[in-house]
Structure 1
Amino acid sequence: MIAGIGTDIVEVDRVASKLQKGDDFLKHVFSEEEIAYCSRQKNPAIHYAARWAVKEAYLKAAGVDFIGNHKLSCIGIKNELNGKPFIVLSGREADLFEQRQYKCIHVSISHTTQYAVAYVVIESER
């Protein structure tokens, strides 16, 4: 059963601007693994923007408010060998997933040089 659907769009230039301000933004929003992955890419800002969009889309799909204590770096995005993205949760986000009896997260990401967009669908057991 579908428990929630979320979507988000992020301007790549906005992320590029935040990246120039230093590591605080990176450490607050991204996991160490995501930072390593994005830093290796030809245009890191595009990949950071895509991952930020996934995190925001996930929170919308989960139906949580943005005022709460949601640590975005606990919502990690990885890729399967074929490139398909998936979400790995840790900390409070993993606890919330379990409490709500969610069973599966589907993710789709797309980007251009200007925008990154993400869609997240969460399935539950009930």
Structure 2
Amino acid sequence: MAAAGPVLGAGIDLVQVSTFRAQLVQPGSTFLRVFTDSERATAATRPAPHASLAARWAAKEAFIKAWSQALAPGPLALADSPELWPLVEVESDPMGRPSLRLHGMVRRAFERDFPQAQLLVSLTHEGDWASALVMICS
């Protein structure tokens, strides 16, 4: 991967893992659907699966914040919808380094806004907190 250029937008999100876990296990919750099969499988291999999913959720939120910031003062082309969340996928390489893969309408809209942009993501969790930072660079 080539070195990133100037930062066009940045987003950060913080999630309380215990609250997040309670939402996941709530009877009738559809919250797990925001994750791809791959994200759920990756989290299941981690020592703290719920914290891993919470960090991935934070990355999805941070991505939307970064995208919105990069477009300011204009709006995002996509309205918030539960169907959009699995289209923002957090992957990990063999060394555990995270990256974002965009799918479908999210990928098309983002590439229309930023055809040459690079997405950088960092995840962390400690104790009852998980966080993610996403930067959009030219």
Amino acid at match of 2:113: R
Q: CA deviation at 1:66?
A: 8.6
Higher Cα Rg, which structure: 2
Match of 1:79 in 2: 92
CA RMSD of aligned residues (A): 1.9
TM-score scaled by length of structure 1: 0.87
Please tell me the residue identity of whatever aligns with 2:108: D
In the other structure, the counterpart of 1:38 is: 43
| Deviates most, 92-101 or 3-12 | 92-101
Residue 67 of structure 1 and its aligned partner are, at CA, apart by 4.9
Gaps of 5+ in 2: 1-5, 69-75
Distance 1:65 1:101 in 2: 12
Identity %: 30
- Report the Cα offset of residue 26 of structure 1: 0.5
Per the normalisation by structure 2, the TM-score is 0.80
| Counterparts of residues 1-126 of structure 1 (less than 5 Å) | 1-21=6-26, 24-27=30-33, 29-63=34-68, 64=76, 67-69=79-81, 71-102=84-115, 103-124=117-138
